[in-house]
């Protein structure tokens, strides 16, 4: 009942659907917050001179946060869909 470890990732069983639904909501909030941070970081970038430029470590960190949040949300939404199929 509840959660179990599947391939190193947390997997939810159908009996945990209310918790999974809540977790999806939290994951959506985390993604929205990460995207806001990315928007702020991009807005702070200096105007491009047309020359090649490298992303700063700080910007790469923000990008990683967005990607991690999106992957987490995608995984939870897939599990939510799968738990709904078993009902």
Average pLDDT for the chain: 82
**pTM reported for the whole predicted model:** 0.71
Q: What are phi and psi of 12, to 5 degrees?
A: -100, 140
- pLDDT above 60: residue 3: no
CATH number of the domain located at residue range(s) 3-44+54-85 in this protein? 1.10.287
* Tokens 């999806």 sit on residue: 24
Do residues 13 and 4 lie in contact, with contact meaning Cβ atoms separated by under 8 Å? yes
Helix (H) or strand (E) holding 82: helix 57-85
Which pLDDT band holds residue 48 (cuts at 50, 70, 90)? confident
pLDDT at res. 80: 86
All structural domains of the chain with their residue ranges: 3-44+54-85
């Amino acid at each position: 009942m509840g959660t179990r470890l599947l391939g190193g990732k947390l997997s939810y069983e159908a009996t945990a659907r209310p918790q999974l639904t809540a977790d999806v909501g939290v994951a959506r909030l985390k993604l929205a917050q990460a995207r806001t941070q990315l928007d702020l970081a991009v807005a702070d970038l200096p105007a491009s001179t047309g020359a090649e430029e490298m992303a700063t470590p700080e910007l790469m960190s923000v990008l990683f946060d967005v990607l991690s949040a999106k992957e987490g949300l995608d995984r939870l939404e897939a599990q939510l869909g799968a738990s709904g199929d078993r009902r």
